[in-house]
Amino acid sequence: MPAAPAELLGPLPAMVRVSAPGAALAFPAVHGRTFGDAPAGGLVAYVDSADLVAVAVNGARAADLLSASPGDLLRVSG
């Protein structure tokens, strides 16, 4: 499944929650523009260079934190 288009991230607040499929909890994330908008080890939801919604961790791997695999659909909510 492809990533969501950038315009879906736009109306969300400055702090969002991110969860992986089947996850019992959602992690707080900054709705930012770069990895540096999140504190070290923190999640950031941003628009990547392909103009799609992406999730990353400042200084680490989002897949590890979220227990996600390539192709998993993540939920980003406000």
Give the CATH number of the domain where residue 70 resides: 2.40.30.90
- Please say if the pLDDT value at position 70 is more than 60: yes
User: Does residue 1 sit within a domain?
Assistant: no
If one counts the domains in the chain, the total is 1
Instruction: Look at residue 5 in the predicted model and tell me its pLDDT.
Output: 85
Task: Give the pLDDT mean for 51-73.
Answer: 91
- Please say if the pLDDT value at position 2 is more than 80: no
Strands 27-31 and 43-47: parallel
Instruction: Look at residue 72 in the predicted model and tell me its pLDDT.
Output: 86
User: Which residues span the domain enclosing 31?
Assistant: 6-77
User: Does residue 25 sit within a domain?
Assistant: yes
Tens-digit pLDDT profile for residues 5-45: 888 888 899 999 999 888 888 999 999 999 999 999 999 99
